[in-house]
Amino acid sequence: MKQIDQIESYIKQFKSVIFLHDDAYRFIKEHRLWEGFWRYGWAGKISIFLALILSVQLFYFVYEWFGRSTNDTIEVISSMGMFTSDLGGFFKGLFGSSATKYLLILFLEVIIFHFCIKSIGIIENKSFEPRLKDFIRAEVRMFKVVIRSWILEILLVFLVGIILDLVGLDFLGVIIAFFIRAYYLGFAFLDNYLEQYGYSIKESALTIKSYLGASIGLGLVSYVLIFIPVIGLIVAPLLGAVVSTLYLHANLPKTHSVTTSIETT
């Protein structure tokens, strides 16, 4: 009975986070959270540049394929199959690799950090003025988090694959692996919020276990947004940062205060 209640709780978390993305969009727009982003100097510029490069690469791939127009039905069907195969290979290479996915999160940490801090400041009615040194501290923390998540993800996907293969349910492997990867992607956003309240990575991991549904929901939406050419790789981290902030601020018991390493005005 307790396990059923826990599963129902996770499902409720998942649904709550999914619908919270609409509120997060309005929150970003109303409070103009993008203002002040360029205070991080070169770190912010490089982050945006890398995100745009990857987005343009995806956009060019899709555009190039649609440029191969034909009126022959057989050729259309054949080319559709080739497109699906090529696009699947592109996504697998870019996002299917755990290492690549986590490198992307590291590149975009400056966006995640900025929007998280700005959101906390508005919610708590405080004015935080993080500088480059604060971002560097957050980047080091994110590096530790992604290394941890990468290792655990590989091990968990591997073990689940073996178990499913033994019981003849190996066809479920891809689906379960996707949800595992979504969980650890969402973990990065939730941990970024908890870091601002002084949680260690160990404390953060224990806390996020209780919000498994929320973490999967965050990761799932982020995956979908990343696939949108040009703007997806920018929208995904900023929206994920705000959603995680709004969700945990509303649902997590207040046992910590914002770390004093971030200057206030």
Lowest mean pLDDT across 43-52, 139-148, 151-160: 43-52
Taking 60 as the threshold, does the pLDDT of residue 178 lie above it? Answer: yes
User: How far apart (Å, rounded) are the C-alpha atoms in residues 27 and 203?
Assistant: 28
The whole-number pLDDT of residue 229 equals 67
| Residue-wise pLDDT tens digits, 71-109 | 444 443 444 444 444 444 444 444 445 566 777 788 888
What is the predicted pLDDT for the residue at 41? 64
Residue 264 lies in a domain: no
Look at residue 206 in the predicted model and tell me its pLDDT.
95
Given pLDDT bands bounded at 50, 70 and 90, which one contains residue 42? Answer: low
DSSP state of 153: H
In a domain, 263, yes or no: no
Query: What is the distance between the alpha carbons of residues 117 and 126, in angstroms, rounded to a whole number?
Result: 10
DSSP string covering 65-112, please? HHTS----HHHHHHHHHHHHHHHHHHHIIIIISHHHHHHHHHHTHHHH
Structure tokens, 178: 């996707």
Average of per-residue pLDDT across 169-182:
88
pLDDT at 54: 64
Structure pTM?
0.79
Domain count, the chain: 1
- Note whether residue 259 is domain-resident: no
CA 33 → CA 46, 129, 149, 201, distances in Å?
A: 19, 13, 28, 26
Has residue 265 been placed in a domain?
no
Cβ-based neighbour number of residue 139 at 10 Å: 15
94 falls within a domain? yes
User: Is residue 258 situated within a structural domain?
Assistant: no
Higher pLDDT, 38 or 245: 245
pLDDT of residue 9: 93
Structure confidence at residue 1 as a pLDDT band (50, 70, 90): low
CA distances from 63 to 96, 112, 157, 224 (A): 22, 29, 34, 19
Residue 245 CB-half CA count within 13 A: 29
pLDDT number for residue 86: 47
Question: Taking residues 113-136, what's their average pLDDT?
Answer: 84
Q: Could you tell me what percent of the chain has a pLDDT over 90?
A: 39
> Is residue 83 in some structural domain?
yes
Q: What is the pLDDT of residue 55?
A: 60
Residue 136's pLDDT is what? 83
**What's the pLDDT at 93?**
46
Q: Distance between CA atoms of 255 and 264, rounded to whole angstroms?
A: 20
> Does residue 265 register a pLDDT over 60?
no
pLDDT tens sequence across 202-246: 999 999 999 999 999 999 999 888 777 667 777 888 899 999 999
User: What pLDDT, in 10s, does the model give residues 10-35?
Assistant: 999 999 999 999 999 999 999 998 88
Residue 231 DSSP SS3 = coil
The residue segments making up the domain with residue 89 are: 2-251
SS3 128: strand
Contact 233, 51 (CB under 8 A): yes
pLDDT score for 69: 46
Q: Note whether residue 260 is domain-resident.
A: no
In the predicted model, what is the mean pLDDT of residues 145-169? 91
What's the whole-number average pLDDT of the chain? Answer: 79
